[in-house]
Each structure stands twice: as C-alpha cells, then as structure tokens.
Structure 1
Amino acid sequence: MPMLDVEGGSLYYQVKGEGTPIIFIHPPLLTSTNFLYQLEHLSKTYKVITFDIRGHGRSVYSKQAITYPLIVNDIVNLLDYLGVEKAFICGYSTGGSILLEFLLMYPNRALGGIVISGMSEVKDLFLKQRISLGVKLSNKKTISVLTLAISLGNSKTRQVFRKLYEDASFGDARNIQQYYRFSLHYNCTSRLQDINSPVLLVFGTKDKVFHQYAYILHGKLPHNELVFLKEKHQIPTKAAIKLNEKIDEFIQKHSVINSLQ
C-alpha cells in the first residue's frame, strides 16, 4: 500500500496512468475512492493522482489539526515526492475550497483548477447547518451513521456504496471533525481575483443551493469556464461520464495553450 510520510502523519495515495498530471481532493469523511471513475477512465490519457487526506480512509491519524493550508502543503509534498512539477488540481465540494487555497498559495505549481460542486465560502443557512451537523456527528458514537448517510448519497450502485462505506470507515473521527469545522469558517471570496490560473467550474443543475456559489466563482475568478451537468451535488460518482468528458476537454484546451506560451 503506497504511503508517504509527512510531518505528523502519513498519506495513502494512488497513481495511475501517464501524461499530464491531475490530482483530486475529496471532502470530509469520504476518501479518494470517491474518484474511482476518474482514476479508472482518465488514467487512460493522464497521470491521475488520488490521496486520502490525513485521518481519512487509509491515511493515518494526524497529530496536527486538519486545516486547508496543511492539506495544500501535503499535496505539494506528494507532488514533490512523485517528481511532478505542475498538475491540474481538482477538488470536489469542500475539496474545491482547498483547490482555491492551493491556487492562492502555490500558483506556480498548478496548470489549472477544476472545481466540482465547490465554494469559496459558506454563506447560506442550509449549508451552514449541514456542515455543522457533520461536525456534531463526527464522534465515536455517531460517525458510523454519518458514514452510512454520506456513502449512500454519493453512490449510484450497491458495489460503489460498499466500497465508499468500507474505505470511509477507516477514518478517524477527530480529523474528520476538524476538516468539517475548518470548512465551515473558510472564506477566500475576497481573494478570488488574485487567482490567475484557468479554472473549470462544474455544478449540478439540480443542486440549487450551490448555484449561488457557482455564480460567485464565475463572477470573481479572472479566467474560468462554468458548466452545468444534469445532476445533483454528487457529480464525480453520479455523472462521471460527462464530468470526465468536461475535464478532458478543459485539460486538452489548456495543455495546447501552455505549450504555446
């Protein structure tokens, strides 16, 4: 099982394929398994990198509290270890917020960004309550209930559910709670204009709550493309074919642009 030692923890990661690198960032409680369709299909053309955030899945418990800057630095350490100078960074849900933080902290390490159902801040009551519930349920007594609900919500088949649930069950409730808690208060909206990397924004037509976040990002990021797919929030697993197509188109387009510069 490939593991990378980082200060205060250890990361489980996977690499599949060759070509332009793409690294994926998952939300709280879930794991890199959430990108199983991207790992399988995009790796036919690209070098796909997935990893479990500290205290999630097969990555060990972190003595350091989970914060976005910590996760970003772990990503940079992983890229360094793999000999990857630059990559496309892709984040799903709160993973999209981490992607934005990455582009702000290490713009020279990114070829571009892909935000899937993500946000630059949590501003509406519904989402605040939802993440607050994640904080509340992230304890030894109730984490299994939360794991069941989140895994079901992101599953299209029983087989995928079993895999998501099994891998998420390895996580440590303390680190999962820290991830939820940091997500609740993160806000980089005022800094979006400082991101010069090209960014693909992918949102679900049925994910009404997140449309306001889609339009915030679309209005403030200097170089972005906004795409809506016919799905709810859980696009990586439930609209994988269309998502993979959009990612492929975006990378092909900007790979050509980068080669001309």
Structure 2
Amino acid sequence: MPYAEVNGTTLYYRVKGSGLPIIFVHPPLLEGNNFDDQLEQLSDTYQIITVDVRGHGRSPYSKQPLTIPLIAGDIRGLMDALEVKKACICGYSTGGSVALAAMLAYPDLFHGGILISAMSEVSDLMLRSRFWAAIYTSGLHAKRVLTAAITWGNASSPENFKKLYSAALRGDIRNHKQYYKSGLTYSCTQRLKEIPLPTLLLYGKKDSGFHKYAKMLHRQLPNSTLHFIPKAKHQLPTKWAGPTNRLIRQWIEAQPFATTGRRILRDLQETHVPIPVFEPGTIQEEPNQQA
C-alpha cells in the first residue's frame, strides 16, 4: 500500500492518472475513498491524489493533535514526498477549510483551489450545533454511531455506505474529535482577500444552510467562480458526482494552467469527436455515477 512519511507521521494516499495534479482533502471521520468517483472519472485527464488525514482511514493515529493548519502542512509534505511541484487542491466541507489554509500558507504550491460545500468559518447556530454534536459523540467513544450517521449521509447507495462505513471505522475517534474541534474554531474569513488564486466554489442548490458560506467566499475571494448545482444537497462528491466532476473539468479547462486538458480537447475536436458543453446553472440532478 502507498504510504508516505510526512511531518513526523505516516499518511496513506492513492494516485491515479497523469497530467495536472489535483489533491483531494476529506472532512472529519471520512477518508480519501469519499472521492472514489473523482479518482475514477477524472483520472483520464488529470493526476488525482487522495489522502487519508492523520488518524483517518489507513493513516495511523497521530499523537500530535489535529488542527487545520497542521493538516495543511501535511498536504505540503505529501506533495514534497510525491515530488509534486504544483497542484490544484480540492477540499470538501471541512476539508475546504484545509484547502483555504494551504493556499494561504503555501500559495506558490497551488494553481488554484476547488471548494465543495466548504466554509471559511463555522458561524451559524445550526452548523455549530452539528459540530458540537459530533464532538460530544466522539467524547462518548460512540464511534460506530457517529460513523454510521456520517457515512450514511454521504453514501450514494447501500453498497457505497458499506464501503464508506467500513473504511471510516479504521480511523481513530480521538483524531476525529480533534479535527471536528479545529474545524469549529478555525476561521480565515478575514484573510480571504489574500488568496488571488482562481477558486471554484461548488454548492448544492438545496444545501440552503451553506449558501451563506458560498456567498461569503464568493464575495471575499478575489478570483472565484460560484456554481449551485440544481436539486443537489451537501454531499456533492458522492451523491452528485456527475455534475460535480463536469463542472471541475469545465473550470480547469478555462484556466491558463490547463494546457494538458486543452490539448486533449483539441485532439478530440480534430478527430470530430463531439464534446459536450455544460452551461453554468443548467446542470440537472443525476443519480450517482459510479465508475
């Protein structure tokens, strides 16, 4: 299995494909397999890298307490270990806070960021109560209860639930709790204007509780593009993988750094292979698209 020694800890990771590297960061309790649809569907054009955060999935327990900046530093260390000089970083939910912290701390390492159902702070009562509930449940060591609730919410099918649940159980509840606590207290909202990198913001149209954060990020980030996916809720990487992945492709190929993808598209056009066009705001809900 692929492991890397990073910042005094060991991280499990997966790499598939070649081309522009995209590093995916998961939220507390879940692990890198939450991005299996991205790994399978986007690796035809890009180098997809998923990682299990310390104490999550196959990455062993971390004696050093988890914080958002620490995880961001681990992403940098993993890039060094894999000899990835520059990448896009994609964070889902609290993983988006890690992506923002990484872009603030190491701007020269990233072409841009992709934030999925993400936030720069946890400031509304409903979301804060969810974090506190997860922290409290973690403190009771009710690992199976919390794991079942989180993975069921993210699962796209009963089979997908079994995979996410069994994988998440490998993690350490102590590190899960630390990740939740850091996500609850972390805020970089006042520094968002310091991130000039192009940033894609993806949210579910029905994820109304996160629309506040979507608009906050779009307003504060100098170079951001915001899309709400119709009929979608929070769990975009798994339950709405098809439209999520198409918007990621569309956004990347519009960026100056996406030479590889544009060359592939040009080659397809020269061979008269039809290229689908997806206009912003017109993507419809799709069932999960497992590879």
Q: Is residue 26–residue 91 contact of structure 1 (8 Å, CA) maintained in 2?
A: yes
Correspondence for 1:47: 47
Correspondence for 1:193: 193
Once the two structures are superposed, the pairs formed by residues 170-181 of structure 1 within 5 Å of their partners are: 170-181=170-181
Q: Is residue 89–residue 114 contact of structure 2 (8 Å, CA) maintained in 1?
A: yes
3-state SS of paired residue (1:202)? strand
Give 1:183 shift: 0.4
Q: Is residue 88–residue 110 contact of structure 1 (8 Å, CA) maintained in 2?
A: yes
Correspondence for 1:101: 101
Q: TM-score, normalised by structure 1?
A: 0.97
Q: Is residue 13–residue 51 contact of structure 1 (8 Å, CA) maintained in 2?
A: yes
Q: Deviations over 1:134-169 (max 9, x none)?
A: 111114631110000111000111111111001100
* Residue identity in the other structure for 2:234: H
Q: Is residue 20–residue 258 contact of structure 2 (8 Å, CA) maintained in 1?
A: no
Give 1:21 shift: 0.3
3-state SS of paired residue (2:170)? coil
Correspondence for 2:132: 132
Correspondence for 1:205: 205
Distance (Å, rounded) in 1 between the aligned partners of 2:153 and 2:84: 33
Once the two structures are superposed, the pairs formed by residues 215-234 of structure 1 within 5 Å of their partners are: 215-230=215-230, 231-234=232-235
Distance (Å, rounded) in 2 between the aligned partners of 1:110 and 1:141: 37
Q: Deviations over 1:181-233 (max 9, x none)?
A: 00001111100000010000000000010000000001010000000012110
Distance (Å, rounded) in 2 between the aligned partners of 1:165 and 1:22: 25
3-state SS of paired residue (1:187)? coil
Give 1:255 shift: 4.0
3-state SS of paired residue (1:170)? coil
Correspondence for 1:243: 244
Indicate the percent of aligned positions where both proteins have the same amino acid: 51
248-257 or 82-91, which moves further after superposition? 248-257
Once the two structures are superposed, the pairs formed by residues 9-48 of structure 1 within 5 Å of their partners are: 9-48=9-48
Q: List runs of 5+ in structure 1 lacking aligned partners.
A: none
Q: List runs of 5+ in structure 2 lacking aligned partners.
A: 261-291
Give 1:256 shift: 4.9
Distance (Å, rounded) in 2 between the aligned partners of 1:30 and 1:19: 26
Q: Deviations over 1:22-43 (max 9, x none)?
A: 0000000000011010001101
RMSD (CA atoms):
1.3
3-state SS of paired residue (1:247)? helix
3-state SS of paired residue (2:39)? helix
Once the two structures are superposed, the pairs formed by residues 123-162 of structure 1 within 5 Å of their partners are: 123-139=123-139, 141-162=141-162
Distance (Å, rounded) in 1 between the aligned partners of 2:258 and 2:172: 42
Larger radius of gyration: 2
3-state SS of paired residue (1:113)? strand
74-83 or 194-203, which moves further after superposition? 74-83
Distance (Å, rounded) in 2 between the aligned partners of 1:239 and 1:141: 31
Q: Is residue 8–residue 62 contact of structure 1 (8 Å, CA) maintained in 2?
A: no
Q: Is residue 66–residue 175 contact of structure 1 (8 Å, CA) maintained in 2?
A: yes
Correspondence for 1:120: 120
- Length, aligned pairs only: 259
Correspondence for 1:68: 68
Distance (Å, rounded) in 1 between the aligned partners of 2:190 and 2:65: 25
